[in-house]
Amino acid sequence: MRIVWIFALAATAAFALPPERLTATELPKGAITLDGKPVFLIVKVADKKVVSFAPATEKAANLIVRFAQHDKEATLIVFESKLAIDIKLDLYLSKDRERFVYTSSCPLAAGKSLFENWPYFVPFVVVSAIRPSPAGAHTCE
């Protein structure tokens, strides 16, 4: 069972879920892999819509993703947002960087942090489909 701690609740809504299992070649274009080092991203927003996201320097980043715990006991990821909008994203977990399993993320409120936790070691986490979190929704699905 995945345990999730949220420092700030945000909104989410129903959306078309991606396939539950993917191979590395099937991952969404532009997906970013978290493999131990922090990932610094610049997320461009126009008219309250995410238009792109790409790697950035730590100083320029408005979204930071990092492992807070990454060992045999558990995997804990921290998402830190400097964005002015609430966001949602897709996560894919992998033990071998070849096969990936989709998992939902919780909403990440503007300017807040979010923790996602799994009670086992996850060597690789892929982040994709960063998008606004629809107003009024409150689930991690």
For the chain, the domains span: 3-132
What is the mean predicted confidence (pLDDT) over 83-88?
93
What is the mean predicted confidence (pLDDT) over 5-25?
49
Residue 13 has pLDDT above 80, yes or no: no
pTM of the model: 0.79
What is the mean predicted confidence (pLDDT) over 126-132?
92
Write 70-76 long-range contacts (CB < 8 A, 24+).
70/36, 70/121, 70/122, 71/121, 72/121, 73/119, 73/121, 74/117, 74/118, 74/119, 74/120, 74/121, 75/117, 75/118, 75/120, 75/121, 75/122, 75/125, 76/115, 76/116, 76/117
What's residue 84's pLDDT? 94
Place of tokens 């807070």: 68
What's residue 138's pLDDT? 67
